[in-house]
């Protein structure tokens, strides 16, 4: 079965630093998402992306966050100035159509020190 690939699997950074989390969605998919999961908590929606623009974003997705699909294959999440509370597992997901299943990547564990 096709896979969503996320890199790196673990990222450690200092508070205030910028991080970029990378995702390669499944090739024929059109809709892209970022979710996060703080340890012990539920999976939370961050942002959805379609047709090269943000479709929807949550309250969590403030000005410190941005997404980009720079080259037609990668889908990135940038956190401009990380905070301790940004420590979480970040999941990328993609789907071909809105009534089809979302495929999730295996996640990037971000630790902000």
Partner 1 sequence: DAKTTQPTSMDCAEGRAANLPCNHSTISGNEYVYWYRQIHSQGPQYIIHGLKNNETNEMASLIITEDRKSSTLILPHATLRDTAVYYCIVRVALHGAQKLVFGQGTRLTINP
Q: Which parts of this chain interact with partner 1 (CB under 8 A)?
A: 4, 31-33, 35, 37, 42-45, 48-50, 55-56, 89, 91, 93, 98-99, 101-107, 109
3-state SS, residue 85: helix
Which burial class, exposed, middle or buried, applies to 67 when counting CB atoms under 10 A from its CB (0-12, 13-18, 19+)? buried
CB of residue 95 to partner 1, shortest distance in Å:
8
- Please report how many Cα atoms fall inside a 13 Å half-sphere around the Cα of residue 79, on the Cβ side: 26
Nearer to partner 1, 4 or 19 (CB): 4
Q: Is 89 within 8 Å of 36 (Cβ atoms)?
A: yes
CB of residue 49 to partner 1, shortest distance in Å:
7
Nearer to partner 1, 14 or 99 (CB): 99
């Amino acid at each position: 079965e096709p896979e969503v690939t996320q890199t790196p699997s673990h990222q450690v950074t200092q508070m205030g630093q910028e991080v970029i989390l990378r995702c390669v969605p499944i090739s024929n998919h059109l809709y892209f998402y970022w979710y996060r999961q703080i340890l012990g908590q539920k999976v939370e929606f961050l942002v959805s992306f379609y047709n090269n623009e943000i479709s929807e974003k949550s309250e969590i997705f403030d000005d410190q966050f941005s997404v980009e699909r720079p080259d037609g294959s990668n889908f990135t999440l940038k956190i401009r100035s990380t905070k301790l509370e940004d420590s979480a597992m970040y999941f990328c997901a993609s789907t071909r159509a809105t009534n089809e299943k979302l495929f999730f990547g295996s996640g990037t564990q971000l630790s902000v020190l």
